[in-house]
Chains A and B, each alone.
Chain A
């Protein structure tokens, strides 16, 4: 229940419905997820392998792809490879990673490949629905665990002004990440820090961008220690 919290209100949801492609190699999981998703989410395609996924995504051009981290086929790169194969569509299509794995290598690899967020497969349908709308709206979706990975990778000391801005999190971003890691929803984070939800979302997106773009020494080292590179 706590894995991912949304704003909880319908205000965050765009008026139009969202077109979604589900990529997962387990047919049972796909059908279960489809049944769990909100009625305003239209599943326009399904895929079970890397090749199928790239083809379906190119054909359907969905708003959001729910992407399993581990997939058969392709060169063995799983979800990461699907994102790489759909690179030209990244501006219009957003990827939300789904995984049963909490392993840092799986999560960070898909995020760095371009996914806009990550949720575990054990979360409820309502939570995934919320995450889909959030990602479709251009925001990032952070679970407490992903926030923990970020804090682990970037360190918990705030950035100096002299630092390369990609290399460290600002004091405010750190605060936001810490609260998310503690299980706070975006709304609760906003309340705790006396800022608007929009500002929280901005901070989270900035962190996501840093996670994707930073080539910082410590991040590389952190990743290498966990055999992510």
Chain B
């Protein structure tokens, strides 16, 4: 801060009383916000210079968010968070905002966060404050000019127009509108109310100004006439407005569809096309081709038919994952059918491990498709793993082979379940059963 103080670019802050011009200016200049505000108010008495200056800045200077968005392509700098820190909760602030009034180089002007919560706390109070301020200004002006009695008839309406316009425009401010979307309907109704009030003020002001007389009778007449004219205009323009609105909606829907299509295309490219390329390169190896095709089919199926409403990580998901693993490992198809589902417990974990072992055996020795059926209910979970291999006799399995005895039967028994292996010439079926009694013990 010795030679050239690095300044944050000029942008309207979201810590605002009217439009955030003063606080933005204060941030830019490195002055206290209060000083700037009072300066602005005082300048307003100098022939309205402050008001004009304020209005000009309001129109020309973008909000911090707008500026940030405009510069999103620029490399992020540490400056943006400083400018829009109060709004950081609602918007992502990357990029360095550049004010319309020219920006200083990005620097370390990270002033402490503005008193955001204070402003939030008295959101309506702010409006009242503004109204009072406007009234006060109008009153002072009237008092000043009362002796001369030149333009009382124009000053009041002018003040009304200005006040109404600022109330209405505040609704249009980007950050505020974004905020309104998040808030409740009551707040939205409030927004519309403010808009209507602003509009009424402006109309009344313009009327009085144009009619040029303080006579109530004439004003009422003019009001009636203007309301009638406004009504006519609305009537004429409404169809256009509706059409415009519908076009806008259609365009938005189209854009959403476009995004979705792009996502699908990206997915197909990443998965399916890659796999197809792989398959073509391995066309000579039947085993590889089948394995690739199966894996891709499974992946695509999972993506297309995923049931988003369901919890993941349940027993059926785990069994399907185990089946997919076995399929990838050994190349034989493993068809899984599930009925019902259950949340995972430690015993269920053992059940999944035992099923995986059984699937591995079935795929390795059965040599063909393996059928897996899971039925889970409140009472128990049952899994059947069936292959169509030549079958085997459990008694003939050497005692040092732990696959069947330990990993399947022993594991199930240790967790309170049971396992049965039925082998015939037509194939082998492993039946695993896990009663829910263990869960019931854990629950109460």
Residues of A within 8 A of B (CB): 1-3, 101-103, 144-145, 147-148, 151-152, 156, 178, 181-184, 188, 225-226
Q: Is the CB of A2 within 8 A of B339?
A: no
Q: Is the CB of A183 within 8 A of B386?
A: yes
Q: Is the CB of B426 within 8 A of A147?
A: no
The verdict on B348 contacting chain A, using a C-beta distance below 8 Å, is no
Q: Is the CB of B335 within 8 A of A148?
A: no
Residues 302-337 of B contacting A (Cβ, < 8 Å): 304-305, 307, 309, 333, 335, 337
| Sample of 11 A–B contacts (CB below 8 Å) | A1-B368, A148-B337, A148-B373, A151-B339, A151-B375, A156-B377, A178-B373, A182-B371, A182-B429, A183-B371, A183-B373
Q: Interface residue count for B (Cβ, 8 Å)?
A: 23
Closest to B333 in A: A1
Q: Which 8 pairs across A and B sit closest by C-beta, in order of nearness? A: A183-B371, A148-B337, A1-B369, A182-B373, A151-B339, A182-B384, A2-B369, A183-B386
B340's partner among A103, A152, A225 (CB-CB below 8 A) is: A152
Determine the chain B residues whose CB is within 8 A of the CB of A102 once the complex forms. 301, 305
Determine the chain B residues whose CB is within 8 A of the CB of A184 once the complex forms. 386
The verdict on B103 contacting chain A, using a C-beta distance below 8 Å, is no
Closest to A188 in B: B426
Residues 408-436 of B contacting A (Cβ, < 8 Å): 426, 429
Give the complex CA separation of A98 and B396 in angstroms: 43
Closest to A148 in B: B337
Q: Is the CB of B309 within 8 A of A101?
A: no
Give the complex CA separation of A151 and B337 in angstroms: 10
Q: Is the CB of B375 within 8 A of A156?
A: yes
Give the complex CA separation of A148 and B368 in angstroms: 21
Closest to B334 in A: A2
- The smallest beta-carbon distance between B160 and chain A, in angstroms, is 56
Closest to B300 in A: A100
Give the complex CA separation of A191 and B442 in angstroms: 40
Interface string of B344-380 (1 = CB under 8 A from A): 0000000000000000000000001111010101000
- The smallest beta-carbon distance between A100 and chain B, in angstroms, is 9
Determine the chain A residues whose CB is within 8 A of the CB of B301 once the complex forms. 102
Q: Is the CB of A103 within 8 A of B335?
A: no
The verdict on B388 contacting chain A, using a C-beta distance below 8 Å, is yes
A181's partner among B339, B368, B377 (CB-CB below 8 A) is: B339
A144's partner among B304, B333, B373, B388 (CB-CB below 8 A) is: B373
Determine the chain B residues whose CB is within 8 A of the CB of A147 once the complex forms. 337
The verdict on B275 contacting chain A, using a C-beta distance below 8 Å, is no
Closest to B386 in A: A183
Determine the chain B residues whose CB is within 8 A of the CB of A1 once the complex forms. 333, 368-369, 388
